[in-house]
């Protein structure tokens, strides 16, 4: 079973008061080289929680670089300049941004530079998405959100044009930040497998970010209690059921009478918004 063995990751946290440097004495860090890049900060409980979510899936990760969002945008992507992006720290195969935000009018520049860097390096970039464009509105990245939230089409439309719906994946974890860690851990496992398993090592595209993203999306499944239809009898007068039925039809393109015998899902097995 892959564990992410030998894979190097970059964890990017918001450049705010909560900090971006890993702290604590978790056993999960044992044998992992944690290396800050750029300015350092006080240890961050949030960063440690996200790193733990990643290491739960990929305990074999070899090195974790830690950095702030401002370092990523100014020192690596060099947003707002006429200069090309700089490479990520040596050996980085997966980068995950456990923060959301906006650079105002510079959003499109930041995202296109990140898209360029992903293809040129290459590496897998996972970005949290809760409605803000950075870093989840990329084309070549993997946007990860919260299952409890409806996707936000409006923000993506502003930077990527009509038809762009994010997030790409949701996880069973309760919040977007640890979800980015989980998806980054899954990506690390796939990258290890691509470099170790004989039948994959023969294929030079196996570890490409587009391939890893495609495999993760194709392998996603809905939870057993997932439904895109309203529960029967939500209200005595049917008002709630009618409203939810309308929302379900808009969201899935399916009407309530398209339900299977168990009444839980329509003939459209996947949610058109969140996969």
**Comparing C-alpha atoms, which of 102, 4, 113, 86 is closest to residue 51?**
4
pLDDT given at position 62? 93
- pTM value is 0.82
**Comparing C-alpha atoms, which of 48, 46, 41, 37 is closest to residue 8?**
37
**Comparing C-alpha atoms, which of 129, 65, 67, 75 is closest to residue 102?**
129
Write down the H helix ranges in the chain: 45-57, 69-71, 107-120, 153-160, 176-196, 198-201, 209-219, 239-252
Q: How large is the average pLDDT for residues 6-16?
A: 95
Tokens 């969002």 correspond to 69
Least confident of 80-94, 125-139, 162-176, 240-254: 240-254
Provide the greatest CA pair distance for the chain: 63
Which helix (H) or strand (E) segment is 125 a member of?
A: strand 124-128
Q: Collapsing DSSP states into helix, strand and coil, what is residue 160?
A: helix
For the chain, count helices (H), then strands (E): 8, 7
Q: How large is the average pLDDT for residues 158-169?
A: 73
Spatial distance between the Cα atoms of 123 and 114, rounded to a whole number of angstroms: 11
Spatial distance between the Cα atoms of 181 and 185, rounded to a whole number of angstroms: 6
CB atoms within 10 A of CB 120: 11
Least confident of 1-15, 147-161, 163-177: 147-161
Tokens at residue 182, please? 């989980």
* Phi, psi torsion values for 108, nearest 5 degrees: -65, -40
Reduced DSSP (H G I as helix, E B as strand, rest coil) percent helix, strand, coil of the chain, to 5: 35, 15, 50
Give residues with Cβ within 8 angstroms of 165, minimum separation 6: 151, 153, 156, 272, 273
Spatial distance between the Cα atoms of 76 and 117, rounded to a whole number of angstroms: 9
**Average pLDDT taken over every residue of the chain:** 81
CB atoms within 10 A of CB 161: 8
Q: pLDDT tens, 110-144?
A: 999 999 999 998 999 999 988 888 998 888 999 99
β-bridge mates for residue 158, sequence order: none
pLDDT given at position 262? 45
**Comparing C-alpha atoms, which of 244, 206, 212 is closest to residue 228?**
244
């Amino acid at each position: 079973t892959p564990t992410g063995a030998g894979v190097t990751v970059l964890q990017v946290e918001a450049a705010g008061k909560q900090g971006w440097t890993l702290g604590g004495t978790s056993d999960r860090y044992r044998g992992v080289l944690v290396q800050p890049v750029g300015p350092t900060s006080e240890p961050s409980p949030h960063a440690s929680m996200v790193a733990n979510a990643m290491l739960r899936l990929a305990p074999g990760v070899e090195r974790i670089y830690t950095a702030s969002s401002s370092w990523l945008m100014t020192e690596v992507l060099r947003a707002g300049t006429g200069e090309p992006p700089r490479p990520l720290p040596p050996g980085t195969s997966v980068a995950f941004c456990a923060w959301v935000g906006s650079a105002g009018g510079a959003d499109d520049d930041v995202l296109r530079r990140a898209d360029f860097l992903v293809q040129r390096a290459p590496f897998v970039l996972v970005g949290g998405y809760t409605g803000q464009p950075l870093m989840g509105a990329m084309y070549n990245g993997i946007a990860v959100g919260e299952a409890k939230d409806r996707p936000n089409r409006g923000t993506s439309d502003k930077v990527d044009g009509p038809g762009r719906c994010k997030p790409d994946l949701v996880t069973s974890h309760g919040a977007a930040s640890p979800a980015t860690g989980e998806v980054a851990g899954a990506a690390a496992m796939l990258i290890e497998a691509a470099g170790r398993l004989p039948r994959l090592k023969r294929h030079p595209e196996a570890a490409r970010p587009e391939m890893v993203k495609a495999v993760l999306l194709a392998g996603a499944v809905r939870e057993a209690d997932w439904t895109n239809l309203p529960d029967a009898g939500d209200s005595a007068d049917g008002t709630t059921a009618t409203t939810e039925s309308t929302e379900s039809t808009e969201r899935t393109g399916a009407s309530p009478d398209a339900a299977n015998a168990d009444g839980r899902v329509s003939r459209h097995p996947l949610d058109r918004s969140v996969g």
